[in-house]
Structure 1
């Protein structure tokens, strides 16, 4: 079922208990290391979190990325694929590759520079040959834009997707992802003007709480409905906290929220206490060099279910 109104979403949510045996968090994760890290002007055309006037340090980006992989290993196994110099800003694999149990999903990217990334054979063959996953390839379609778990934030415990429509995901892409992930319910809504991905304005924490940047949604009733669905266990972000990527967070275990060091520094003491009250520790990694490319920790991590 795909719904587009907050009331229809709340009615449908109430009728969907958690899936028996479904995992709320991934069993592993994978990253794509930066190689000759640089900012892509094409990606910056609709990503206001990028500033092409800034200089980047490729070696510092590589070091921060390696530290991220090492930190996340505290919660689950992590695989890092080598970087590809022909796609120098390809450090955000969750937009291009995602999984459901037994399936690798390849997204349909808007920009040509990211479409090249979707053609990587090593990632596809790892899932096909090593894990025996079926491949669901949206990248060859010309009738949609579907940037996977950048545009789609998923409650894996319930099989519910939250899909923000923007230049990076259209209605046809939302339907394609609903089917590819095998979701029971998708709530589709329009992001605020200037927002490119849902995972910058919304994070779900192990299926029991949310981080929400309300100014990232075109309709203010949408974030209110999402918060209500999770029993008002929502961490509400101010615009400056969203700009610091506090919404680009994730859980890889039931008891820890990961976000960048800059994102965590933007949180208030009250917000930190709320996370602790919901039984979440806070894990942080310095990612300021990588954040110059317009994404943060969540964007760097593709989950394996």
Structure 2
């Protein structure tokens, strides 16, 4: 590994983007591979929009730079509020487009958003993996892969939404080391996305090691993190189910590190777990209970990190 590259890399993006939940609702196409989703008798779209507006207000209040885009207007995309699954922008100025598992999630991919991002940020390379959808192969962005940008490692739990061969192919192209494992939920079902199992911040990682079914794989994940001087903060399967692994560390406009998570996640974390965080990390919680219940994803899924430098 190039030591200069490690020194220059940062884990936290300084910008994020979000997509408005215009068509938000329970998604029957994804329910079979996401046990976190709940179908409610009544879905209050007004409350969903209020939750989204409150997310934006908290980001503004906390001095965190963000962009907001509309979902594709002519298509019904109930999960468009989770854009981190179809796109990511890496620190080396590479933009990656990802293949999605279901048709209405594939419809979220918005080339107008891509063009806007190219205008606003230093993006020099585009890797388009979406043709894999023709063979029903999925790799759903930073849902499927939790990147350690400092040490150039990519953690991925295999599921219908995370194809191991494609993980390895992408890692080869962007020069990251793949760390692949299987994770199971409370009913022994495959966990749909890696970013509910774990997050990686600056020198720490919340990880549900109990969900990693193979003890050798769990040990492998822990050893990789600890070898990179990343403190492992274990969470339980119950905490994982409350989205305690679904967090994103960002830097605000003052350069301060902020750990963004939902109020649900914060309420389920123990004091000793929070105390294990580095002293310079500020936790910021967002109330999004309806988005979590219906969508089966939490705050990290709503935030697409932008690691490239801005042009403005």
* TM-score, normalised by the number of residues in structure 2: 0.85
The aligned runs of 1:70-219 (5 Å cut-off) are: 70-73=57-60, 74=62, 76-84=64-72, 86-100=76-90, 101-118=92-109, 120-131=110-121, 133=123, 134-141=125-132, 142-143=134-135, 144-180=137-173, 182-192=174-184, 193-206=189-202, 208-219=203-214
Distance 1:160 1:56, change over 3 A: same
Q: Secondary structure at the match of 1:42?
A: coil
Q: Deviations over 1:236-293 (max 9, x none)?
A: 1122211110110110036322110011000112112212x55422110001011021
Question: How many angstroms does 1:175 deviate by?
Answer: 2.2
Q: How many residue pairs were aligned?
A: 287
Check conservation: 2:158, 2:164, Cα contact below 8 A.
yes
Q: 1:244 to 1:54 in 2, by over 3 A?
A: farther
Partner in structure 1 of residue 10 of structure 2: 23
Contact 2:242 2:264 in 1 (8 A): yes
Superposition deviation, residue 132 in structure 1:
5.4
Label 1:280 to 1:227 Cα distance change in 2 as closer, same or farther (>3 A): farther
Q: For 2:22 and 2:201, how far apart are their aligned partners in 1?
A: 31
Quick one: distance in 2 between partners of 1:16 and 1:189? Answer: 26
Assess, with a 3 A threshold, how the Cα gap between structure 1 residues 65 and 27 changes in structure 2: closer, same or farther: same
Any idea what the Cα deviations from partners look like across 1:137-167, whole Å, max 9, x if unmatched?
1112234321111010001111111111111
> What TM-score does the superposition give when structure 1 sets the normalisation length?
0.87
Tell me which moved more, 127-136 or 250-259: 127-136
Residue 50 of structure 2 corresponds to: 63
Aligned to 1:72, the other structure's residue is in SS state helix
The answer (yes or no) to whether the contact 1:34–1:84 under 8 Å persists in 2 is: no
Secondary structure, counterpart of 2:127 in structure 1: strand
- Which runs of 5 or more residues in structure 2 are unaligned? 308-312
CA-CA distance at 1:54 after TM superposition: 4.8
- Gaps (5+ residues) in structure 1? 1-14
Structure 2 SS opposite 1:117: coil
Match in the other structure for 2:19: 32
SS at match of 1:149: helix
Question: How well do the aligned residues superpose, as a CA RMSD in angstroms?
Answer: 2.1
The 3-state SS of whatever aligns with 1:281 is strand
Q: Residue 77 of structure 2 aligns to a residue in which SS? A: coil
Once residues 58 and 215 of structure 2 are traced to their aligned partners in structure 1, the CA distance between those partners, rounded to angstroms, is 35
- Is the alpha carbon distance of 1:240 and 1:16 closer, same or farther for their aligned partners in structure 2, counting shifts above 3 Å? farther
